Amino acid sequence: MAILEIKGVCKQFGSLRALEGIDISVEQNTFHGLIGPNGSGKSTLLKAIAGDHYADEGTVIFDGMDITERSPEFRAKNGLNLKFQITSIFPELSTYDNILLSIQSSQTIWSLVTSKGKSGLDKNIMETLEQFKLADRAETLAGELSHGLQQWLEIAMSVIRKPKLLLLDEPTGGMSPEERRATGELLLPIKKETTLVIVEHDLDWIKEICDNLTVLDQGKVLDDGPVEKIERSERVKEVYTTRV
Amino acid sequence: MRSNNSRKYLPIIEICLLVGLIVAPLFINEFMTVILTRMLILGLLAISFELCWGYSGIMTFGQGLFFGMAGYVVALFANKAGFVQIWGVIPIGLLVGAITSFVIAWLLLLGRKPPEIIFVALGTLTFSYAAERLVSGWYWVGGGNGLSIFDFLSFGSFEIEAGRLFYYIAGTILLISYLISRYLVKSQLGLVLAGTRQNEKRMAFLGYRVRTYKALVFTFAGAIAGLGGALYAHHEGFIGPNNMGIGISTMAVLYTLFGGAGSLIGPIIGVLAIETISFNLSDIDAFKSFWPVILGVILLVIVTFKPDGLIGFIVSQRERIGTFGKISKKNKNQDS
């Protein structure tokens, strides 16, 4: 069953046609990679799915709902989360508070004012911090964490919300090979309850972790399907050997 | 590194100031008590701005509008209906401040797209200016001369004159407003505001309706400003166009920047410092004609070279932001 269906999505910036008639279907509880050369439209597509900007044409169906013109708040409340390409955390808050801020967003204003639900969240927060190797930095300011840990923190902020669909824009950007490997290991256990759409430049890493890939080139879908199929695709090889 | 043993200075400053303000009237004369009462009332205005700017990232020049509007309404109640009962004046001030600020919030903050800081700043500035001009030319509310209140604030038949009793009433109201505000900014709602101030876009992607929270705080802050305005009108026995326009709104900004944004006590220290400096400078014959220039230079130096304000000399940025989630001892022990 598809949790995300993108039908004929187009996006134009001035005279630049960034996306042109994109059709993609993402199956539930799979890891789906978006790859392509620089400027192929990967991040633009991800932003259209997350609501950072809206598609000019076409529809985005998430979990049976047409969310094409819905606000980011609506999408987030219904289980669609985005990890930004440039790490987007709250640098002046502690690591713990970053996670708390993420998980408490579903509470009512009254509950927030009275801080009623806070104590009940502690165990869940600490388990997530443990999972992402951040427990010993719980009280450290997020802005003082290393780049790799900030990336993990941002992923942890999404994972703790148990989203139905998590969009990761270059989750291993700026990481060492060891950190990339560890990031893959951190993500694999969430497959049971979350579908992942990942934009990534590291082809070896994304082939390792994903079930399906969509290859974009110049705003169009060049090819898509299981990783094995894409690996054999002559069209994809051509693009990656001539354009990257 | 897990533990954070940085010292906490804010509670010490809060307690010292509270004790100092409680005993102050015992050591100063009646006239100075009246001056200090005015400072406490202006403290409400300063807290009101701080909640908007220091905690929620809303740059507003509208706090003077809410302050003055409430002052005018209670003055009209006093003049036209002879109503000066404190049990009515306080709720009227709160209500007028809240309603006025909610209307402004609805117009400026609750649009489809998140408004830019400059849009809100200029919008509130425009409203303040327009209101000042409006009352200046409106004879029914006293025009440029403003409105005088001839009856004392009362509780039943008991009259509350400016002096020691009014001081403690104003002080109690400031303390209650402070404690409620402190509770709010330390609650999980305070964490939402801290997040909004640091990364508003990210908050939307976490599912927060950021504009709703901003409008909520703006309205609450407006109610506190209104409370201040109502007390001010009765304490001074007067309210005029200057008490609701750009001038008083800018003073609210200066109190906060001078005392230090990011804590509730900073703006109150700012009020005490600025008003004390103003009072003393204006009293010196040699400075009488140009003391505002000297005050301006002092403000400029502090704001330029110490953006954290006076409180920044003692309290770190980290302490001001604080922590919201308390890690339970059980989990803490597991980690150590």
Please check whether residue B3 lies inside any domain of the structure.
Answer: no
Q: How many CB atoms lie within 10 A of CB B164?
A: 15
- Residue with the larger pLDDT of the pair B37 and A206: B37
CB proximity under 8 Å: A 104-133 to B = 104-107, 109, 111-115, 117-119, 121-123, 125-126
How far apart are alpha carbons B328 and B308 in whole angstroms?
32
Q: pLDDT at residue B333 above 60?
A: no
Bridge partners (DSSP) of residue A19 are A11
How far apart are alpha carbons A125 and B331 in whole angstroms?
10
The pLDDT assigned to B336 comes to: 44
Domain limits for position B302: 10-335
pLDDT tens by residue, A49-101: 999 999 999 999 999 999 999 999 999 999 999 988 888 999 999 999 999 99
- Tell me which architecture the domain covering A1-79+163-244 has in CATH: 3-Layer(aba) Sandwich (3.40)
Q: How many CB atoms lie within 10 A of CB A143?
A: 12
Q: pLDDT at residue B306 above 90?
A: no
Q: pLDDT at residue B335 above 70?
A: no
The pLDDT assigned to A235 comes to: 81
Identify which of B199, B317, B328 has the shortest CB distance to residue A90: B199
The pLDDT assigned to A39 comes to: 86
pLDDT tens by residue, B79-115: 999 999 999 999 999 999 999 999 999 999 997 777 8
CB contact under 8 A, A97 and B191: yes
Among chain B residues, the shortest Cα distance to A75 is held by: B207
Q: Which of A112, A129, A145 would you mutate first to test chain B, the one with the most B CBs within 10 A?
A: A112
Tokens representing A179 are 């950190």
Q: Which of A54, A69, A73 would you mutate first to test chain B, the one with the most B CBs within 10 A?
A: A73
As a whole number, the mean pLDDT across chain B is 91
Tokens representing A222 are 């060049």
The pLDDT assigned to B324 comes to: 86
Q: pLDDT at residue B328 above 70?
A: no
CB contact under 8 A, A118 and B188: yes
Is some CB atom of chain B closer than 8 A to the CB atom of A156? Answer: no
| DSSP secondary structure letters along A160-225 | TT--SEEEEESTTTT--HHHHHHHHHHHGGGGGT-EEEEE-S-HHHHHHH-SEEEEEETTEEEEEE
Q: Quick one: pLDDT band at residue B1, thresholds 50, 70, 90? A: very low
CA proximity to B31, closest of B160, B221, B134, B162: B162
Is some CB atom of chain B closer than 8 A to the CB atom of A101? Answer: yes
Is some CB atom of chain B closer than 8 A to the CB atom of A193? Answer: no
Identify which of B187, B204, B331 has the shortest CB distance to residue A122: B331
Q: How many CB atoms lie within 10 A of CB A231?
A: 12
Taking residues A199-216, report their average pLDDT. 89
The pLDDT assigned to B157 comes to: 92
What residue spans in chain A does CATH classification 3.40.50.300 cover?
Answer: 1-79+163-244
Please check whether residue B164 lies inside any domain of the structure.
Answer: yes
Question: Vertex A142, ends A140 and A146: CA angle to 5°?
Answer: 95
pLDDT tens by residue, A6-15: 999 999 998 8
Identify which of B198, B205, B324 has the shortest CB distance to residue A50: B205
Please state the domain count of chain B. 1
Q: pLDDT at residue A115 above 60?
A: yes
Please check whether residue B1 lies inside any domain of the structure.
Answer: no
CATH assignment of the domain containing B33: 1.10.3470
Q: Quick one: pLDDT band at residue A211, thresholds 50, 70, 90? A: very high
The percent of residues in chain A predicted with pLDDT above 70, rounded, is: 98
